[in-house]
Structure 1
C-alpha cells in the first residue's frame, strides 16, 4: 500500500513539475516577445516607440485600446483589404480598425463596440464584392463585447502552437534568445518576431518588411473563388442595410464613405470570364446610384494603378489605396477634402507609382532598403 502511495505521489509530483516548467517557459517566452504585461503595456510601447504588433491577443482588443486613447477623427473599417490605409494619408487624426469586418453585419458590431468609447467624424468602409447585400438582413443588436477575447497569458503560447500560428522551433528559438530583434523599431509579439510584420501604431498592417516579396507575376494569381460560374439569382442585391447604417451615422454627425475595394488587373480579367460576374456588374452600377457617398474602385486601372501596386490578387497595396483617397478628395464637394492635402497625396503617388509600400514614417525609415526592393521589377 505504501509503495502504491509513493508511486502516485511521484507521478503527481512529476506532473506538477512538468506543468510548472511549461508555465515557466511560457513566461520566459512572453517576456522575450514583450507580451507579458497585457494589452495596456503593448499599447504603451506602440504609442511610445511606434512598434509593430502581432501576437496572441485579439486584433480587435488591441486596436480598441489604441483607438480609445487616440480618439481619431477618421477611421477605416473592412476586411484585410482595408489595412493599407495609413495615418499620413490624412491631415487629421486617423486610426485603422480594419481587418475583422468580413460582412456588413460584422461592421455594425465593430462600430457599436468602438463608438461606445469615442465617435469619429468620418468612417471609411471598404466593401468586398462577396458581401451579402440582401433585404433579409436587419440591423443587429448592440453588443459592446463583440470579439472581446480573454486570453490567459501563461497558456497563450501553447494555444499558438496548437493552431499552427507558431512552430515549435520558433518557440524554443524565442525562449533561448536565438530569435530576437534589436533594430530601431520594436517588434512586439511572437508574430512580429517571426514574420517581421504586424500592425503599426495607426492600426494599419505592414507586410514583407524583410524584403522577400515575390515578383508580381508570382504574387498575382487567380483568386476569384467568390465569383461563381453560375448566375447569381436576381433580386438578391439590396442596399437597404447599408443605407440604414449611413442614416444612423448621419444622425450622430458621422459621415460614412463606402468604397468597393479593388481587384488586381490580372484577377479582374479572369473574373470577367465567369458567368457570375454579371452580379458584379450590377453591384458596381447600383452601389453608386443607390448609396450616397459610395465609390466604385473595383477597377483601379483608370486611375493609373498597375498590378505592381498590389500585394497579391485581392489586396491593393499602400500606393493603390492612396490613389483611392486622392480621387475621392479631388472634388470640391468631397466629404474627405477637409481631412487631406490632395497636393501632398498626388506628389507621393507620383514618386512611388508602381510600388506597394511607402511607409512614410519611422517604420519605413528602418526598413527603407528592403521596401525599395519592391520597386525593382516595375
Structure 2
C-alpha cells in the first residue's frame, strides 16, 4: 500500500505527538501542577487511599484551608508538623474532625488564622499543638516570617518550565523513576507517588516509606540529634518562658472564650534520645516553666493543657517516633488516651474502647493500622 505525501506527513505528526505525550505525561499526571483548590475538589471524589504530597511546591497551607472550608469540622487540630498524627479514626465520628496541621506554624500564625476565619469555620473544640519553640525568644523572633498565615498570601506553585527542569534534574540523580508517576491515581504529587508521603483525607500525615523501612527507632531519631544538641532553630533554649508568648497565649484564651471554643492545648513529646540531650543542656530552664506558667493560665480559664514534652509521661521509646521529635500514630494514640484518663472533654468525641482497640491491635510501634 502506497502512502501519499500528505498521509506520510500526518503519520509523522502523530508519531511526534505520541512521543511528546509520552515525555510530557509524567509531568502532567504527577499532580505537582495542580492548584490547592483543585486538589481539594478532586479529593472529595477519592477514597481512603487518597494521599497528597508535593515535592516541588509548598502550597500546603492553601490546600489545608480549601479542605477546611469544605469540611467545616466541629473538632479542629491546628499547629505545626507535630500535630499531624492526630487521626480522624481516633474519633467516634471522623467526619466531624479535621487535622489542619501545617495550615499555620507559629503561635501568632495560629491566632491570626483564627482571627481571619469566617465565623462558620470556627470549631467547637480546638486541639492546639504548642511546639516548644513557641516558648523561647529565639524560637519566636527567628520565625516571625511565619506569623502571617500562608493561606492569606499568594499561592506558591511551580510553573511547567521550572517543574520540568527540576524533575528532570532529580531523575538524573536517580531520586525517582518516571513510570512511578503514571500510576496510583489516588495519589497526587511526587512525594505521594514515589515515597508514600502525604496528607490523608482527614488532614493527618502518612509516612509510607518510613513505615516500610527496616530502620530502628535509634536510627530514625539519630538524624536530628545534632541540631537538638546545638540548640539550633526550632530547638533554641531559654532560661524562662518568653514573656511575649505569655501575652499571646492570653490573646488566644480571650479569643476562644469570646467565640465559645473549647481549647485543648498540648506540648508534643520528644523522643527519648532527644529528651536525654535536653536534660544535659544548661539553657532549657523554660521547659520546666511551660506547665506552671502557660499551662496554669489555660487551665485557670477553664480550658485544658497537657505537657507531654518528656516522653516518659506516656512511656514512649524511640521506637514510637518517626524521627527525634515527631511522634508516630502510636504515640499520639497514647497521648489522646492519656487525655481521656485525665477527664478531658475529648471524651464526648472519642470512644475510649475504640482507641484502646487500635492500640492493642497495632501493626508495629509506629503504625497502628496500614493505610490509616
* Both proteins in one fold, TM over 0.5: yes
C-alpha contact 1:54 1:191 (8 A) present in aligned 2: yes
Which residue of structure 2 aligns with residue 43 of structure 1? 40
- Which residue, 254, 257, 263 being the options, matches 2:264? 257
Which residue of structure 2 aligns with residue 151 of structure 1? 157
CA distance in 1, matches of 2:331, 2:320: 6
Which residue of structure 1 aligns with residue 60 of structure 2? 59
CA distance in 1, matches of 2:269, 2:230: 14
Deviation at 1:187, TM superposition (A): 1.4
Deviation at 1:273, TM superposition (A): 0.6
CA distance in 2, matches of 1:321, 1:276: 28
Evaluate the alpha carbon distance shift between residue 79 and residue 25 of structure 1 in structure 2; reply closer, same or farther with a 3 A threshold: farther
Which residue of structure 2 aligns with residue 224 of structure 1? 228
Other structure's SS at 2:263 match: strand
1:103 aligns with 2:110: no
1:131 aligns with 2:134: yes
1:314-329 correspondence runs (5 A): 314-329=325-340
C-alpha contact 2:104 2:149 (8 A) present in aligned 1: no
Per-residue displacement from partner, 1:196-221 (whole Å, max 9, x unpaired)?
21111111111134612521121123
TM-score, normalisation: structure 2 = 0.77
1:121 aligns with 2:148: no
CA distance in 2, matches of 1:250, 1:159: 50
Other structure's SS at 1:131 match: helix
Deviation at 1:37, TM superposition (A): 5.4
Per-residue displacement from partner, 1:175-203 (whole Å, max 9, x unpaired)?
xxx223645x7211122122221111111
- Which residue, 291, 298, 303 being the options, matches 2:314? 303
Which residue of structure 2 aligns with residue 88 of structure 1? 89
CA distance in 2, matches of 1:150, 1:235: 34
In structure 1, stretches of 5+ residues that fail to align are 1-22, 365-378
1:282-361 correspondence runs (5 A): 282-292=289-299, 293-332=304-343, 334-352=344-362, 355-359=365-369
Per-residue displacement from partner, 1:125-167 (whole Å, max 9, x unpaired)?
1111122467x999x99879524415365345158559x8x55
C-alpha contact 2:78 2:99 (8 A) present in aligned 1: yes
1:132-281 correspondence runs (5 A): 132=135, 146-151=152-157, 153-155=159-161, 157-158=163-164, 161=167, 166-168=170-172, 173-174=177-178, 178-180=179-181, 182=183, 186-209=186-209, 211-212=212-213, 214-221=215-222, 222=225, 223-225=227-229, 227=231, 232-234=238-240, 236-237=242-243, 238-281=245-288
Evaluate the alpha carbon distance shift between residue 26 and residue 109 of structure 1 in structure 2; reply closer, same or farther with a 3 A threshold: farther
C-alpha contact 2:86 2:99 (8 A) present in aligned 1: yes
Evaluate the alpha carbon distance shift between residue 76 and residue 225 of structure 1 in structure 2; reply closer, same or farther with a 3 A threshold: farther
C-alpha contact 2:322 2:366 (8 A) present in aligned 1: yes
C-alpha contact 2:109 2:147 (8 A) present in aligned 1: no
Evaluate the alpha carbon distance shift between residue 297 and residue 147 of structure 1 in structure 2; reply closer, same or farther with a 3 A threshold: farther
Which residue of structure 2 aligns with residue 7 of structure 1? none
Deviation at 1:269, TM superposition (A): 1.2
Per-residue displacement from partner, 1:282-303 (whole Å, max 9, x unpaired)?
2233232222211111123233
Evaluate the alpha carbon distance shift between residue 230 and residue 219 of structure 1 in structure 2; reply closer, same or farther with a 3 A threshold: closer
| Number of matched pairs | 332
CA distance in 2, matches of 1:284, 1:202: 30
Other structure's SS at 2:191 match: helix
TM-score, normalisation: structure 1 = 0.75
CA distance in 1, matches of 2:285, 2:167: 43
Other structure's SS at 1:76 match: strand
Deviation at 1:27, TM superposition (A): 6.0
Deviation at 1:314, TM superposition (A): 0.5
Other structure's SS at 2:109 match: helix
Give the helix-richer structure, 1 or 2.
2
Deviation at 1:227, TM superposition (A): 4.2
C-alpha contact 2:29 2:182 (8 A) present in aligned 1: no
CA distance in 2, matches of 1:220, 1:142: 31
Evaluate the alpha carbon distance shift between residue 240 and residue 276 of structure 1 in structure 2; reply closer, same or farther with a 3 A threshold: same
Superposed CA RMSD in Å reads: 3.5
